[in-house]
Structure 1
């Protein structure tokens, strides 16, 4: 059986086929992102066809944006067989040229890395670089390599002076001079503390200092400082050395202390006075308040002073009454 298709249906199908076969009409874009120095028709116009790659304007500088009026675009494309451009009511088109910015900090890190590799100065993070004239930031194409071409690189280990000439993608050769030094981590005082004062976490920080300006026993770890006492006054901004620290003093000068003499089967205690301050484990001079004799002993954690056994002078310094008690215990 043969079906008869209504004429109206045939006419509608023909119209749809014809519409599908017609090319899309060129239309203006609201904004465009471009690479390179030129703006092309296809950057600004949708459905530009075979003329899409034809340049019509200069692009903004790297990292910059600009605008072009819709009327200017219509005039520019008219000579390239685009007639009746649909502007979609747009007045101005924004054109942006993205970039990758090379900052002064990037240049500093690059020179530190190059010097570290070429002259065995260590990792770039451990090298302090200072410029005679601070480098300015600049932009390169986002797709370009950020690694520069090294035209010249010199370094004097004695003075720390460097001379670097580098060329980044799309830029002319640039020269930088200055000084570079290997550095070490150093615990540095944030505030001043007095002799005997306990160093707290908020009192210190970590700074990197030129290796030539630090001493061999400069402390590099904060944990090695916090909780220790200052052997001498430490001023703010100074690097802390191991010799600047000591255990916290548990016995103060002129303080009353208990003298303890311990031997197998006997323990004697005598009142005394500390002739000098001392931390746990220190050997200090003390006075037996009963005999008025001066002896030496080791400071214990509880603040008492333990008289070392086996020293004839110690037994001689004991109070006679204490000797009597020792005899009675036998």
Structure 2
């Protein structure tokens, strides 16, 4: 058994599911491990945001590679399947919708043997109203800038476009392919799932409620790092304290989740250089500051090294946070 064992009774486990599911490094495995023939799990981190008066951009976190191999993802509007994409993709535009209408979406994963996993949690998006006779496209986004964020991600920023009735969304293109969309109030994005040491070209276009799309702004070319520097995708502001309760010591952790486009729903805690425990949020994952507490023993004066990393929306691990040192029983 690696790390520090964490024992959770079945009753306690059920109670935790509404917030997060606790998984020890030597406890429950993922679906698909050890010859398990169960279908893929439900995709996490699903979000939906209107791209125009007639379209919604749906994103989700890729099912981790340790689970059953995903062949494709299916996107449902209510109970109707409206889109299907390969397992390598985890975003899609649902089109031909009605203006001023609220829609409910879920996502399901299907493996190579055709087994369909359970639906994700439901997410809702409301399309805006469309103004009549709106034929004017927004102005092109200007001042596009970017930088490599480690070896698998880039950070992009740009200046807002102008539109006579308002920008609803910005579309991010890699070469000639649309790869992402953000809301009209956002002027930044983090693109993940890239290859190390690779040169990419990005542009951004603005879209209004009538689906008028601006010309592309200037192209920015970026090369991802060739090493394993994942600092831009690492949790920040990690704090660790030791707390005593009922004669035992626990470590209290808090941190700021990495800023990536998509929800971070899973973290792995390393204790003294080894994976000790993982946590998976079953509901809405925190975006400002996350907290976690786990048992480390009954002996005072034991010094531990702690760091944490996040599972990114593309199904890969981000970089480790800065390491913190804490001693059980020590005054804060």
The TM-score, its normalising length taken from structure 2, stands at: 0.23
Q: Which structure's CA Rg is the greater one?
A: 1
Structure with greater strand percent = 2
Bigger proportion of residues as helix: 1
Specify which structure has the bigger relative contact order, considering alpha-carbon pairs within 8 angstroms and separated by 6 or more residues.
Answer: 2
